């Protein structure tokens, strides 16, 4: 999938994020059959809830990390009973269990990026924020508030902890428009409103924010010149109808647009919107893809553009599953390659 971009940004804040590990453990392993050493792939950790249907949560995160050539690891914060129709139940794990999982992975294996998702309670938010503050690796915070189906995944009492404890640890925060409203009170109805939303989120302390404009309607104005200091207009893949989005939205724009900014430079990321309702897991997938590319040493703008391109393909290949909203296809690149390598069928 081709990606074109024209960037006029010159700010030093777009330089590569430090992808360091918090462990001194070896990054090579031994092949038991031959005895030869091989290097391990870069390591990315997801701290999130489980989706029993496999479309979102840690399942989506781990699929994304594998698809992008990294080694995914997980800290489970909650277990959900979930399918294509919605969330039938959710049970959070105690902070002690979350802390033990995190320390087990980070202290031995090490991490080169961390992504957070569902953190249901103030206790979990504060526990994870404390762990992240002591980890020398890029952090992508997806401030999950509700599921694709509208089910609440974050207690109202946890919002202040997200604002004051979690967001300050973020290298990149990735709220959609509903989450922006939940966290800041800013209601976004135009692209200019996305700038106000970004400023409100950045005030809580993340280095960068991606305002995902998947819910903008077709009749809203476009700021196609990306005007502003250090702005760029980038054309790349969209992420999903709830996450900046390339999926079908009734009354939505034919174009998916996101705003990436650190308050100094701007990157307007645009893509055609795909006519596909099966977009479950887009927000998790985008955040995990950003984390995977940061772990590889890419700058934030590079990582976000590459992540959007990946998610665009996943949305285009999204498939029906069950009786409701199906997932994006995390393995779309593998399937595309397999199909191109298959011999032609005989008539």
* 281 counts as catalytic: yes
**Which residues are registered as beta bridge partners of 81?**
89
What is the Cα–Cα distance from 188 to 171, expressed in whole angstroms? 23
Please tell me which residue in 148, 212, 296, 308 is annotated as part of the active site.
212
* 283 counts as catalytic: yes
Task: Residue 279: name the closest of 232, 234, 231, 313 by CA.
Answer: 313
Give me the numbers of helices (H) and strands (E) for the chain, helices first please: 9, 13
Question: 208 Cβ partners below 8 Å, 6+ apart?
Answer: 13, 170, 171, 172, 173, 260, 261, 262, 300
Please tell me which residue in 63, 148, 284, 326 is annotated as part of the active site.
284
Other C-beta atoms closer than 10 Å to the C-beta of 196 total 16
Please tell me which residue in 283, 313, 318, 326 is annotated as part of the active site.
283
* 279 counts as catalytic: yes
What is the Cα–Cα distance from 19 to 42, expressed in whole angstroms? 9
Please tell me which residue in 282, 296, 308, 313 is annotated as part of the active site.
282
Please tell me which residue in 80, 279, 285, 312 is annotated as part of the active site.
279
> Between vectors from CA 287 to CA 161 and to CA 160, what angle results, nearest 5°?
10
* 24 counts as catalytic: no
Active site residues: 212, 279, 281-284
């Amino acid at each position: 999938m081709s990606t074109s971009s024209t960037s006029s940004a010159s700010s030093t804040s777009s330089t590569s994020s430090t992808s360091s590990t918090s462990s001194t453990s070896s990054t090579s392993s031994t092949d038991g059959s031959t005895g030869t050493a091989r290097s391990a792939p870069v390591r990315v950790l997801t701290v999130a809830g489980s989706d029993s249907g496999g479309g979102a949560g840690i399942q989506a995160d781990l699929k994304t990390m594998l698809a992008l050539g990294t080694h995914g690891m997980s800290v489970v914060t909650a277990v959900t009973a979930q399918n294509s129709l919605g969330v039938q139940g959710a049970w959070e794990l105690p902070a002690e269990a979350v802390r033990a999982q995190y320390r087990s992975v980070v202290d031995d294996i090490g991490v080169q990026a961390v992504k957070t998702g569902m953190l249901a309670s103030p206790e979990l938010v504060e526990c994870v924020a404390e762990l992240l503050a002591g980890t020398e690796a890029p952090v992508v915070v997806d401030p999950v508030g509700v599921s694709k189906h509208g089910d609440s995944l974050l207690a109202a009492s946890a919002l202040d902890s997200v604002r004051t404890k979690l967001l300050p640890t973020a290298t990149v925060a990735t709220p959609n428009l509903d989450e922006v409203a939940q966290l800041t009170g800013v209601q976004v109805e135009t692209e200019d409103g996305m700038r106000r939303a970004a400023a409100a989120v950045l005030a809580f302390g993340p280095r960068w924010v991606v305002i995902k404009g998947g819910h903008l309607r077709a009749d809203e104005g476009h700021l196609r010149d990306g005007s502003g200091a250090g702005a760029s207009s980038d054309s790349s893949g969209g992420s999903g109808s709830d996450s900046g989005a390339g999926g079908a939205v009734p009354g939505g724009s034919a174009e998916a647009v996101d705003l990436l900014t650190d308050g100094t430079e701007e990157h307007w990321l645009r893509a055609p919107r795909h006519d596909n309702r099966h977009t479950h897991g887009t927000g998790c997938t985008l955040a995990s893809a950003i984390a995977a590319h940061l772990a590889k040493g890419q700058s934030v703008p590079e990582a976000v553009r590459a992540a959007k391109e990946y998610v665009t393909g996943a949305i285009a290949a999204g498939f029906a599953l069950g009786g409701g909203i199906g997932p994006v296809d995390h393995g779309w690149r593998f399937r595309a390659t397999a199909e191109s390598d298959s011999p032609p069928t005989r008539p």
